[in-house]
Amino acid sequence: MTPIHPVILSGGSGTRLWPLSREHFPKQLLQLVGDGSLLQQTITRLDGLSAVAEPIVVCNEEHRFLIGEQLLRINRKPAAIILEPAGRNTCPAVTLAALALTRGADDSIMLVMPADHVIKDNAAFQAAITSGLKLAQRDRLVTFGIVPTTPATGYGYIRKGAGNAVVEFVEKPDAATAQRYLDSGDFLWNSGMFLMRASVWLEELRQHAPQILAQCEAAFSRGRQDGEFYRVDVDAFRQCKSDSIDYAVMEKTARSAVVPLAAGWSDIGAWSTLWEVSPRDANGNVVQGDTYLQDVNNTFALSQHRLVACVGVSDLVVIETSDAVLVAHKDRAQDVKRIVDHLKARNRSEYLTHRRVHRPWGSYEGVDAGDRFQVKRLTVKPGASLSLQMHHHRAEHWVVVKGTARVTRGDEVVMLTENQSTFIPIGTRHRLENPGTIPLEIIEVQSGSYLGEDDIVRYDDKYDRVKS
């Protein structure tokens, strides 16, 4: 059987699921429905399907360590993790994966899947893949069309013809048009999933969007391996046009084919769609965390840190995180993106990160802050270490709460255990390491005239974050 190479597109930021999804920790990395994150589910739903190779993941550079760690947790070693220095939509992302696959001798078949979808019926999904594989082996560009269950206006549609023929791709319709599509039985939702030979994709791209292919070839050929990651050339890739698979090729090619899919699919495009696919109680409510609901119907209530109580309301979304609370009507769930745009325009951090910020060595979380000081809780994974670094504008005081720390401070190296502390003066080179087998927890008190994260000069870093 021809091997299938999963290509996982993980470049999205999931802004409509704010405040749970943030730009530096987007929805594909969250556990929203079922076991594991959406990314992990995307990979494991192929388990049991024969001749499936290890995945290629194309992702934002900022997410690389998070993705690597999530793959490790499900015991998967990716064939490649390709880093995009800038978002350029799905066409360039798939092209980078195709170029990686065609470096080998075999003519690989790519199964292209976004990393942030939910599919409840894996057996039906795998049956559709098996059906689509026969078409892909005949050099067709196969897309999977979701059998619609409602007159949805948030998806593009595919008009199907006889057999697996594609008549046309159509834009997101208004409500009346969507109802006509549903009633006709001739239209499918556009899922954004594809099955095709890598070489055939590149041939069609050369015909229909040669500039995109040329820039991707330049970016890929000038790239370099960086541990488990492949970094494409930044300048060449930034010059690439941003375009989708559909616009660049699928709407123009004569090789398209569609396989209908009825497998409980959702793209989790908003809180309202997450409510639809989540288990609900007798009153239609989805509740997670510390919540209390009285006379409440059809509401999504989620608490991460504090008690959330709702009384006498219906059709709401109430989301509580450590640094933000969202209250919205379910019918306005798509407008959450406007909140993110507002925060970004005002350079507020809540659109970008959570209070707990993940790093390759572990994480840190803000505890308190004031004039010329801030307090953080650092958690360092066993065997991990921060970079050898220095700060121009702040001093740091570290107190070990749990575990053992190896501290480099200037020319000396000391071991600290629980309840011991050290002081790092301004301008002193320093490093924090966890030589132990349990997580190291540190309380860090920073003081100085400027406490921004960009006041870091790195001299040595095992995660290749030193700027030359």
Res 465: pLDDT: 82
Give yes or no: residues 282 and 259 share one domain: no
Res 105: pLDDT: 58
280 located within any domain: yes
Give yes or no: residues 188 and 175 share one domain: yes
Res 107: pLDDT: 76
Res 162: pLDDT: 95
Give yes or no: residues 75 and 196 share one domain: yes
CATH number of the domain bearing residue 167: 3.90.550.10
Instruction: Give me the sign of the Cα torsion angle 338, 344, 347, 349.
Output: positive
Give yes or no: residues 261 and 276 share one domain: no
Domain end residue (candidates: 344, 364, 379): 344
Helix (H) or strand (E) holding 394: strand 394-402
Give yes or no: residues 284 and 157 share one domain: no
Residues of the chain with pLDDT under 50: 468
222 located within any domain: yes
Give yes or no: residues 19 and 33 share one domain: yes
Amino acid occupying residue 412? E
Res 103: pLDDT: 87
Q: The tokens of 26 are what?
A: 């987007």
Q: Domains in the chain: how many in total?
A: 3
CATH number of the domain bearing residue 452: 2.60.120.10
Res 322: pLDDT: 94
340 located within any domain: yes
Q: Are 300 and 20 in contact (CB under 8 A)?
A: no
Give yes or no: residues 31 and 160 share one domain: yes
Domain end residue (candidates: 266, 284, 305): 266
14 located within any domain: yes
Give yes or no: residues 340 and 423 share one domain: no
Res 106: pLDDT: 64
Q: Are 111 and 94 in contact (CB under 8 A)?
A: no
Helix (H) or strand (E) holding 94: helix 90-101
Helix (H) or strand (E) holding 91: helix 90-101
219 located within any domain: yes
pLDDT tens for 380-399 read 999 999 999 999 999 999 99
CB atoms within 10 A of CB 46: 18
Give yes or no: residues 307 and 418 share one domain: no
CB atoms within 10 A of CB 24: 17
Give yes or no: residues 313 and 364 share one domain: no
Query: What is the Cβ-side half-sphere exposure of residue 216, based on CA atoms within 13 angstroms?
Result: 28
Instruction: Give me the sign of the Cα torsion angle 44, 195, 157, 328.
Output: positive
Residue 404's domain spans which residues? 356-460
Give yes or no: residues 158 and 243 share one domain: yes
Res 464: pLDDT: 83
Give yes or no: residues 368 and 330 share one domain: no
